[in-house]
Amino acid sequence: MKKIITTMAVVALLSSTTVFSAQQSSVVQADIDAFQGHFKKKFSHLSLNDFSKGPYAVSEDKMGQFEAVMEMPPFEDHIEKGEKLWKTAFKNGKTYSSCFSGGDETIRTQFPRWNTAESKVDTLEQSIVDCRVKNGEKKISTGKGKLAWMSAYLTTIAEGQTINVIVPEGDVKALAAYKDGKKFFYAKRGQLNLSCANCHIDFAGQRIRGDTLSPALGHITHFPVWRGKWAKKKGDGFGTIQRRYGGCNKQVRAKPFKRHKKEYDNLEYFHTVMSNGMEISGTEYRQ
Protein backbone atom coordinates (compact mmCIF):
# COMPACT_ATOMS: atom_id res chain seq x y z
CA MET A 1 0.00 0.00 0.00
CA LYS A 2 1.28 3.39 -0.96
CA LYS A 3 1.71 5.86 1.89
CA ILE A 4 1.44 9.21 0.18
CA ILE A 5 1.01 11.93 2.81
CA THR A 6 -0.03 15.32 1.51
CA THR A 7 0.97 18.55 3.22
CA MET A 8 -2.64 19.36 3.98
CA ALA A 9 -3.26 16.00 5.58
CA VAL A 10 -0.32 16.56 7.90
CA VAL A 11 -1.49 20.06 8.81
CA ALA A 12 -4.98 18.81 9.55
CA LEU A 13 -3.68 16.03 11.73
CA LEU A 14 -1.30 18.20 13.71
CA SER A 15 -3.98 20.81 14.35
CA SER A 16 -5.60 18.47 16.86
CA THR A 17 -4.38 17.87 20.39
CA THR A 18 -4.56 14.16 19.58
CA VAL A 19 -2.31 13.20 16.69
CA PHE A 20 -3.38 10.17 14.69
CA SER A 21 -1.32 8.28 12.16
CA ALA A 22 -1.70 9.53 8.59
CA GLN A 23 -1.61 5.91 7.49
CA GLN A 24 -4.75 4.61 5.81
CA SER A 25 -7.10 2.74 8.13
CA SER A 26 -6.64 -1.00 7.64
CA VAL A 27 -10.44 -1.39 7.60
CA VAL A 28 -10.72 1.14 4.80
CA GLN A 29 -7.86 -0.37 2.82
CA ALA A 30 -9.65 -3.72 2.86
CA ASP A 31 -12.74 -2.00 1.46
CA ILE A 32 -10.69 -0.33 -1.29
CA ASP A 33 -9.12 -3.64 -2.30
CA ALA A 34 -12.52 -5.39 -2.42
CA PHE A 35 -14.26 -2.53 -4.23
CA GLN A 36 -11.60 -2.12 -6.90
CA GLY A 37 -11.11 -5.87 -7.14
CA HIS A 38 -14.79 -6.32 -8.02
CA PHE A 39 -14.56 -3.97 -10.99
CA LYS A 40 -11.19 -5.27 -12.16
CA LYS A 41 -12.70 -8.74 -12.27
CA LYS A 42 -15.98 -7.68 -13.89
CA PHE A 43 -14.24 -5.56 -16.53
CA SER A 44 -10.94 -7.40 -16.77
CA HIS A 45 -10.02 -5.73 -20.07
CA LEU A 46 -9.83 -2.29 -18.41
CA SER A 47 -6.92 -0.77 -16.53
CA LEU A 48 -7.56 1.09 -13.27
CA ASN A 49 -7.41 4.51 -14.93
CA ASP A 50 -9.72 3.41 -17.75
CA PHE A 51 -12.58 3.56 -15.26
CA SER A 52 -12.28 7.34 -15.18
CA LYS A 53 -14.20 7.38 -18.47
CA GLY A 54 -17.30 5.99 -16.77
CA PRO A 55 -19.94 4.63 -19.18
CA TYR A 56 -17.65 5.35 -22.15
CA ALA A 57 -15.07 2.87 -20.87
CA VAL A 58 -17.57 0.00 -21.06
CA SER A 59 -19.25 0.94 -24.36
CA GLU A 60 -17.43 1.31 -27.67
CA ASP A 61 -20.27 3.37 -29.14
CA LYS A 62 -20.32 5.69 -26.12
CA MET A 63 -16.54 6.11 -26.27
CA GLY A 64 -16.79 7.29 -29.84
CA GLN A 65 -19.37 9.86 -28.80
CA PHE A 66 -17.17 11.01 -25.91
CA GLU A 67 -14.05 11.37 -28.05
CA ALA A 68 -15.93 13.38 -30.66
CA VAL A 69 -17.18 15.88 -28.08
CA MET A 70 -13.80 16.16 -26.37
CA GLU A 71 -12.11 17.17 -29.64
CA MET A 72 -13.75 20.57 -29.21
CA PRO A 73 -15.07 20.66 -25.62
CA PRO A 74 -18.15 22.89 -25.24
CA PHE A 75 -17.00 24.04 -21.83
CA GLU A 76 -13.54 25.50 -22.38
CA ASP A 77 -14.77 29.09 -22.03
CA HIS A 78 -16.17 28.31 -18.60
CA ILE A 79 -12.88 26.76 -17.50
CA GLU A 80 -11.25 30.04 -18.50
CA LYS A 81 -13.87 31.96 -16.52
CA GLY A 82 -13.13 29.72 -13.55
CA GLU A 83 -9.41 30.46 -13.83
CA LYS A 84 -10.07 34.20 -13.98
CA LEU A 85 -12.34 34.07 -10.93
CA TRP A 86 -9.79 31.99 -9.02
CA LYS A 87 -6.97 34.40 -9.72
CA THR A 88 -8.93 37.63 -9.18
CA ALA A 89 -8.01 39.24 -5.86
CA PHE A 90 -10.57 39.87 -3.13
CA LYS A 91 -11.11 43.42 -1.91
CA ASN A 92 -8.45 42.80 0.73
CA GLY A 93 -5.87 41.95 -1.94
CA LYS A 94 -5.70 38.20 -1.25
CA THR A 95 -6.72 35.46 -3.66
CA TYR A 96 -8.30 32.04 -3.21
CA SER A 97 -4.85 30.47 -3.28
CA SER A 98 -4.08 32.13 0.07
CA CYS A 99 -6.53 29.77 1.77
CA PHE A 100 -4.81 26.61 0.56
CA SER A 101 -1.35 25.12 0.82
CA GLY A 102 0.80 23.86 -2.02
CA GLY A 103 0.56 24.84 -5.66
CA ASP A 104 -2.86 25.34 -7.20
CA GLU A 105 -2.37 22.19 -9.25
CA THR A 106 -2.27 20.10 -6.04
CA ILE A 107 -5.43 21.48 -4.43
CA ARG A 108 -7.90 19.16 -6.15
CA THR A 109 -6.27 16.04 -4.76
CA GLN A 110 -6.25 17.38 -1.21
CA PHE A 111 -10.03 16.97 -0.95
CA PRO A 112 -12.19 15.67 0.49
CA ARG A 113 -10.18 15.38 3.68
CA TRP A 114 -10.82 14.67 7.31
CA ASN A 115 -10.70 17.77 9.53
CA THR A 116 -9.48 16.39 12.84
CA ALA A 117 -9.89 19.64 14.74
CA GLU A 118 -13.56 20.03 13.78
CA SER A 119 -14.35 16.30 13.46
CA LYS A 120 -15.88 16.60 10.01
CA VAL A 121 -15.18 16.11 6.33
CA ASP A 122 -13.95 19.14 4.39
CA THR A 123 -14.89 19.27 0.70
CA LEU A 124 -13.19 21.38 -1.95
CA GLU A 125 -16.28 23.36 -2.93
CA GLN A 126 -17.26 24.22 0.63
CA SER A 127 -13.67 25.21 1.38
CA ILE A 128 -13.77 27.62 -1.55
CA VAL A 129 -16.96 29.20 -0.18
CA ASP A 130 -15.41 29.36 3.30
CA CYS A 131 -12.37 31.08 1.80
CA ARG A 132 -14.58 33.82 0.37
CA VAL A 133 -16.28 34.43 3.69
CA LYS A 134 -12.97 34.41 5.55
CA ASN A 135 -11.78 37.18 3.23
CA GLY A 136 -14.86 39.34 3.66
CA GLU A 137 -16.68 38.31 0.49
CA LYS A 138 -20.26 37.08 0.13
CA LYS A 139 -21.13 33.41 -0.18
CA ILE A 140 -21.87 32.03 -3.63
CA SER A 141 -24.28 29.25 -4.51
CA THR A 142 -23.07 25.66 -4.55
CA GLY A 143 -23.50 22.86 -7.04
CA LYS A 144 -23.11 24.87 -10.23
CA GLY A 145 -22.29 28.33 -11.58
CA LYS A 146 -19.15 30.21 -10.54
CA LEU A 147 -18.22 27.73 -7.82
CA ALA A 148 -18.35 24.83 -10.28
CA TRP A 149 -16.28 26.80 -12.82
CA MET A 150 -13.50 27.40 -10.30
CA SER A 151 -13.59 23.83 -9.10
CA ALA A 152 -13.49 22.60 -12.71
CA TYR A 153 -10.46 24.80 -13.33
CA LEU A 154 -8.70 23.14 -10.37
CA THR A 155 -9.68 19.71 -11.71
CA THR A 156 -8.30 20.62 -15.13
CA ILE A 157 -4.88 21.68 -13.85
CA ALA A 158 -4.71 18.62 -11.57
CA GLU A 159 -4.93 16.21 -14.49
CA GLY A 160 -2.61 13.24 -14.00
CA GLN A 161 -2.27 13.60 -10.24
CA THR A 162 -3.17 10.66 -8.06
CA ILE A 163 -6.10 10.47 -5.67
CA ASN A 164 -5.08 9.41 -2.17
CA VAL A 165 -7.68 10.32 0.43
CA ILE A 166 -6.83 9.12 3.92
CA VAL A 167 -9.13 7.88 6.66
CA PRO A 168 -6.52 8.03 9.45
CA GLU A 169 -5.78 4.80 11.27
CA GLY A 170 -6.95 5.11 14.88
CA ASP A 171 -9.26 8.11 14.34
CA VAL A 172 -12.61 6.75 15.46
CA LYS A 173 -14.58 9.79 14.31
CA ALA A 174 -13.02 9.78 10.85
CA LEU A 175 -13.85 6.10 10.46
CA ALA A 176 -17.41 6.77 11.62
CA ALA A 177 -17.84 9.47 8.95
CA TYR A 178 -16.43 7.13 6.32
CA LYS A 179 -18.77 4.33 7.42
CA ASP A 180 -21.70 6.74 7.34
CA GLY A 181 -20.85 7.56 3.72
CA LYS A 182 -20.51 3.88 2.94
CA LYS A 183 -23.90 3.16 4.51
CA PHE A 184 -25.47 5.91 2.39
CA PHE A 185 -23.93 4.43 -0.77
CA TYR A 186 -25.39 0.99 -0.15
CA ALA A 187 -28.75 2.03 1.40
CA LYS A 188 -31.89 1.75 -0.72
CA ARG A 189 -34.06 4.86 -0.87
CA GLY A 190 -36.88 6.54 -2.69
CA GLN A 191 -40.01 5.16 -4.30
CA LEU A 192 -37.88 3.06 -6.64
CA ASN A 193 -36.07 1.51 -3.64
CA LEU A 194 -32.64 1.71 -5.24
CA SER A 195 -29.19 2.44 -3.84
CA CYS A 196 -26.14 4.01 -5.45
CA ALA A 197 -24.63 0.51 -5.42
CA ASN A 198 -27.58 -1.06 -7.24
CA CYS A 199 -27.01 1.13 -10.30
CA HIS A 200 -23.27 1.61 -10.23
CA ILE A 201 -22.02 -1.74 -8.90
CA ASP A 202 -24.70 -4.38 -9.49
CA PHE A 203 -25.81 -3.12 -12.91
CA ALA A 204 -22.70 -1.20 -14.00
CA GLY A 205 -22.24 -1.47 -17.75
CA GLN A 206 -25.87 -2.37 -18.39
CA ARG A 207 -28.37 -0.26 -20.27
CA ILE A 208 -31.27 1.67 -18.77
CA ARG A 209 -33.56 3.91 -20.84
CA GLY A 210 -30.94 4.13 -23.55
CA ASP A 211 -28.16 5.03 -21.12
CA THR A 212 -25.24 2.92 -19.96
CA LEU A 213 -24.83 2.77 -16.19
CA SER A 214 -21.32 3.81 -15.22
CA PRO A 215 -19.10 1.85 -12.82
CA ALA A 216 -18.81 3.59 -9.43
CA LEU A 217 -15.05 3.20 -9.59
CA GLY A 218 -13.59 6.40 -11.01
CA HIS A 219 -16.71 8.55 -10.68
CA ILE A 220 -14.84 11.15 -8.71
CA THR A 221 -11.90 11.58 -11.12
CA HIS A 222 -13.48 14.15 -13.45
CA PHE A 223 -15.88 16.27 -11.38
CA PRO A 224 -17.15 18.89 -11.79
CA VAL A 225 -18.39 17.69 -15.19
CA TRP A 226 -20.16 19.36 -18.07
CA ARG A 227 -23.38 17.51 -18.88
CA GLY A 228 -25.46 17.96 -21.99
CA LYS A 229 -28.54 17.32 -19.87
CA TRP A 230 -27.71 20.19 -17.55
CA ALA A 231 -26.86 22.51 -20.45
CA LYS A 232 -30.31 21.93 -21.93
CA LYS A 233 -31.89 23.23 -18.73
CA LYS A 234 -30.84 26.79 -19.57
CA GLY A 235 -27.71 26.37 -17.49
CA ASP A 236 -24.03 26.41 -18.37
CA GLY A 237 -23.86 22.62 -18.12
CA PHE A 238 -21.50 22.40 -15.15
CA GLY A 239 -22.19 20.59 -11.91
CA THR A 240 -20.26 19.36 -8.88
CA ILE A 241 -20.35 15.83 -7.50
CA GLN A 242 -22.86 16.90 -4.87
CA ARG A 243 -25.17 18.33 -7.51
CA ARG A 244 -25.01 14.89 -9.11
CA TYR A 245 -25.83 13.21 -5.81
CA GLY A 246 -28.96 15.33 -5.57
CA GLY A 247 -29.92 14.43 -9.12
CA CYS A 248 -29.47 10.72 -8.44
CA ASN A 249 -31.68 10.97 -5.38
CA LYS A 250 -34.37 12.64 -7.47
CA GLN A 251 -34.10 9.92 -10.11
CA VAL A 252 -34.97 7.25 -7.56
CA ARG A 253 -37.74 9.56 -6.32
CA ALA A 254 -36.13 10.36 -3.01
CA LYS A 255 -35.83 13.82 -1.49
CA PRO A 256 -32.28 15.15 -1.98
CA PHE A 257 -30.21 16.29 0.99
CA LYS A 258 -28.74 19.78 1.22
CA ARG A 259 -25.32 20.14 -0.33
CA HIS A 260 -22.30 20.23 1.96
CA LYS A 261 -24.06 18.81 4.97
CA LYS A 262 -22.79 15.62 6.56
CA GLU A 263 -24.92 13.26 4.43
CA TYR A 264 -23.35 14.21 1.11
CA ASP A 265 -19.98 15.19 2.60
CA ASN A 266 -19.56 11.75 4.14
CA LEU A 267 -20.78 10.10 0.94
CA GLU A 268 -18.20 12.06 -1.05
CA TYR A 269 -15.53 10.97 1.45
CA PHE A 270 -16.33 7.27 0.98
CA HIS A 271 -16.91 7.64 -2.76
CA THR A 272 -13.53 9.32 -3.32
CA VAL A 273 -11.59 6.89 -1.13
CA MET A 274 -12.84 4.02 -3.30
CA SER A 275 -10.98 5.58 -6.25
CA ASN A 276 -7.68 5.93 -4.41
CA GLY A 277 -4.74 5.25 -6.72
CA MET A 278 -6.53 6.60 -9.79
CA GLU A 279 -5.45 9.72 -11.63
CA ILE A 280 -7.50 12.88 -11.96
CA SER A 281 -8.58 12.86 -15.60
CA GLY A 282 -9.41 16.55 -15.85
CA THR A 283 -12.74 18.15 -16.62
CA GLU A 284 -14.82 16.03 -18.99
CA TYR A 285 -18.10 15.78 -20.87
CA ARG A 286 -20.98 13.56 -19.83
CA GLN A 287 -24.27 13.29 -21.67
Residues classed as catalytic: 248
Rounded CA gap, 111 and 195, in Å?
Answer: 24
